[in-house]
Structure 1
Amino acid sequence: MARTDQSIINLRIVIEQPVVGVLHSLQAKDDSPLDPKSSREGEALPFDFQIRVGPGPKFSGDQVRREGPERRFVYIRIGQLAGDPSSPWSRRMKIDIHDIAPDLLDLAATNGGVIETTVNGTGKDGTPTCATVRPTGRRIVER
């Protein structure tokens, strides 16, 4: 697929209610932590990045990972994986993007908005959420 057939889409993943003091980061293309940050008082942690979306839709970009022919997702690294060697946690959140509604993709491509996906950062046991994390919300926001 030629890059001219693709749109650049701005995404934001917001980790709501993260465990205080635990480092989170996007996973970079080379699997290293990218944009690490932690919450001091429970405030949300936003991560902004861009993806390319082509016909189909087909998703690609530095943060986009694949599983099978259709599943596309982004990793949020937690604790040791986010760059904190003293953390008791070494986890990742897997956040699907292949299921973003076509109308949101169209709005983001034509109006330049940001598709914001929110997820809960604390599991039922009080530790950082990990594995596949379902969004609690998805919407278009201004840049």
Structure 2
Amino acid sequence: MARTDRTDIALRIIIERPVIGVLHSLQGKDDLPLDPKSSLGGEALVFDVPIRVGPGPKFFGEQVRREGPVRRFIYIRVGQLAGDPASPWSRRIKIDIHDIGDALLDRAMQGDAVIETTIEGTAADGTPACATVRPVARRLAPR
């Protein structure tokens, strides 16, 4: 597939109720933490991720990971993996993007909206979320 067959879109990952003081970051292609941030008072953490969408749809980008022929996802690094060697946690959150609906993708590809994916940042046991975390909301927001 030629690069000209791909459309740039904006994806925003919102981590609601993260564990206070725990560092989170995107994971880039080189596996290094990218855009590290932590919540000082329980406020949401927001990561903007540019991605490209091709026919299929197929997803591409510096933060896009793949598993098998279809599954595409973004990793959020937590604690030590996000760059805090003193953290008691060394985790990653996996957020699927291959299941974004066609209606959201179509609007985002028109360039007038960003796809916001909201996840819960704290697990049931009170520690930072990890493994595959399903979105609690996915919506379009103005750019």
**Normalising by the residue count of structure 1, what TM-score does the alignment of the two structures yield?**
0.99
Alpha-carbon distance between aligned partners in 2 of 1:126 and 1:76, rounded to the nearest angstrom: 18
Instruction: State the alpha-carbon separation in 2 of the partners of residues 55 and 28 from structure 1.
Output: 23
Long gaps (5+) in structure 2:
none
| Structure 1 residue 112, shift from structure 2 partner | 2.8
Query: TM-score by structure 2 length?
Result: 0.99
RMSD: 0.6
- Equivalence for 2:32: 32
Q: Does residue 124 of structure 2 align to residue 124 of structure 1?
A: yes
User: What residue is the counterpart of 1:18 in the other structure?
Assistant: 18
- The reply to whether residue 86 of structure 1 matches residue 86 of structure 2 is yes
> What displacement does 1:111 show?
3.5
Which residue number in structure 1 is paired with residue 6 of structure 2? Answer: 6
The alignment covers a number of residue pairs equal to 143
User: How much has 1:91 moved relative to structure 2?
Assistant: 0.1
Q: Which amino acid aligns with 1:77?
A: R
| Equivalence map 1:29-68=2 (5 Å) | 29-68=29-68
> Which amino acid in the other structure matches residue 49 of structure 1?
V
Give every structure 1 segment of 4 or more consecutive aligned residues whose post-TM-superposition deviation is greater than 6 Å: none
Note the residue ranges of structure 1 that are not aligned, 5 or more in a row: none
Q: What percent of counterpart residues are identical?
A: 72
